[in-house]
Amino acid sequence: MLFDTHTHLNAEEFDAEVPETVQRARENDVARMAVVGFDTATIEKTLALSKEYEDIYSIIGWHPTESYLYTESIEEQLYHQLQLPKVVAMGEMGLDYHWDTSPKPTQKDVFRRQLQIAKELKLPVSIHMRDAIEDTYALLKEEHVEDIGGIMHSFSGDTLWMERFLDLGMHISLSGVVTFKNAQEPKDVAKAVPFDKLLIETDAPYLAPVPFRGKRNEPAYVKYVAEEIAKLRGYTYAEVAEQTMKNANRLFGLDEWKK
């Protein structure tokens, strides 16, 4: 059974068919999903989904592109929400220098504040990193993320950066990008990452794997990520499914999945 550790079933692309999407995931070996909320609206939808569906858990935080909207009142609300049942991590948080929506100093400040909250509440973190690998690493190191651990979500760095983030106690999560023909770095990472530090995800509705590349992604397709990693590592699909499920449950503090 599979654990999609990063999906956005709270996105408007799924508004009309959440039950059907969840059912398709179940029919494709997905036993658990972590739905990620990253601003006020998506956090509320995430919490509602995890309340409604037994196999859905919540990861909530504040996205770096929305950092300019972060306020004390939002932080107070988030602090309360993070302590609700079935919230298993804080995020996605981090740095994004690709989209010019929030100034870099603002992003760093909001990122740092969230890391400090996560440490206080003893929650692992889910990290968004785009065109900002050096600063992301530096800030995680400064804030001693090893105290809580977490996930490098949809990791896009090379194996050298992988090693550096692993040294900070982070897990490496791979998305549908690993199935892309010319995505050599994710493939190299898939082969090199320690098996007990590997996670899988869809980041749905984005980053659909081959053979659905360019279309809307959904949790059911995390199966293709597991199959590709199994092929790259010379393992069976069942071995990858079992180990990544075990890794996610351990990180999130959940009971083992009972078949």
Number of separate domains in the chain:
1
Q: Decide if 259 is inside a domain.
A: no
What burial letters (b/e) apply to 81-91, b meaning 16+ CB within 10 Å? Answer: bbeeebbbbbb
Task: Grade residue 259 by pLDDT with cuts at 50, 70 and 90.
Answer: low
Instruction: Supply the range of the domain harboring residue 195.
Output: 2-252
Looking at the DSSP bridge assignments, the partners of residue 151 are 126, 171
In a domain, 209, yes or no: yes
- Burial of 75 per CB tally in 10 Å (0-12, 13-18, 19+): middle
Listed residue (171, 163, 161) closest to 200, CA to CA: 171
Does residue 199 belong to any structural domain of this protein?
yes
Residue 258 included in any domain: no
Q: What is the pLDDT of residues 111-153, one digit of tens each?
A: 999 999 999 999 999 999 999 999 999 999 999 999 999 999 9
CATH of the domain at 189: 3.20.20.140
Residue 193 within a domain: yes
Quick: pLDDT tens for 152-187: 999 999 999 999 999 999 999 999 999 999 999 999
